[in-house]
Amino acid sequence: MAYRIKLQNFEGPLDLLLFLIKKNEVDIYDIPIADITRQYMEYVEIIQLLDLEGASEFILLAATLIRIKAKMLLPRPKSEDDDEEIIDPRMELVTRLIEYKRFKELSFKLSDIEDHQRKVFQRGFHPDIDVDADDGIELDEDVSLFSLISVFNQVIERMPKETFHHVEDIQISMEEQIEFVIKNLQKVKQISFVDLIAHLRGKIIIIVTFMAILELIKRGEIVARQSMPFGEIWIVRTRDRI
């Protein structure tokens, strides 16, 4: 595909690792490197497929994971000193993850303080109230790119396997699928991410539609929300755009 997606708040490779650690509920100090590496590579394949900006950074960390995995498979050398501590090949990566996690948590705290200050109004100021409700569904959690990719991959995996005997030129564009998403959200304020893409016929159409959703998120015309971590994802239209 000739279209390249670049998101302003694009999560990096360390974010993906933290996402997988949280999703699998594993100890950051005892990462099951083989399983996490396999899952990480599945996400990298989709990132490359979508031609997302920064895909090379994910590939670089993938090489690091494979190197760590290889070191853990090698027999450990016998030491003359039984008390000598054996260095875990994962520790360097774990240290990076912990430092990065602390940095992100600090940045979120600073962002929360900034948001709080914006909401402090001087006496006599009356902000506009958004009366458009969320149809009774509480959507407090912002959705990460990796949550979207996770559900996208599940939809692709559930598609029936097709064997093509001839090459067919599928006429579909990013602009057409952007209009498709917008039209669906003109009828309702929010729609399930799965419901939006699961009924589409053809892997290419689903891929282009997913890219259209990412583009609309980047433009600020829609947001992706969920009621809890790893819960159902909802695509929500912004009031002033669609």
The per-residue pLDDT for range 179-222, each reduced to its tens digit, is 999 999 988 888 999 999 888 888 888 889 998 998 898 888 99
DSSP 8-state symbol, 231: S
Confidence band, pLDDT 50/70/90 cuts, at residue 142: low
Q: Which residue has the higher pLDDT, 237 or 83?
A: 237
Note whether 148 and 233 are within 8 A (CB): yes
Least Cα distance to 228 among 20, 6, 23 occurs for 23
Per-residue model confidence (pLDDT) at position 125:
41
DSSP string, 188-229: SSEEEHHHHHHT--SHHHHHHHHHHHHHHHHHTSEEEEESST
Structural domains of the chain in order of their starting residue, each with its CATH number = 13-75+87-117 (no CATH), 141-160+172-237 (1.10.10.580)
pLDDT digits (tens, 9 = 90+) for 76-123: 766 555 555 678 899 999 999 999 999 888 876 765 565 555 555 444
Cα-to-chain-centroid distance, residue 192: 16
Q: What is the pTM of this model?
A: 0.69
Would you state the structure tokens that stand for residue 52, as one six-digit string?
Answer: 């997302």
Closest CA relative to residue 5, chosen from 197, 171, 198, 219: 219
Whether residue 47 contacts residue 58, with contact meaning beta carbons closer than 8 Å, is answered with yes
17: pLDDT strictly greater than 60 = yes
Q: How far is CA 49 from CA 1, 121, 147, in A?
A: 8, 46, 16
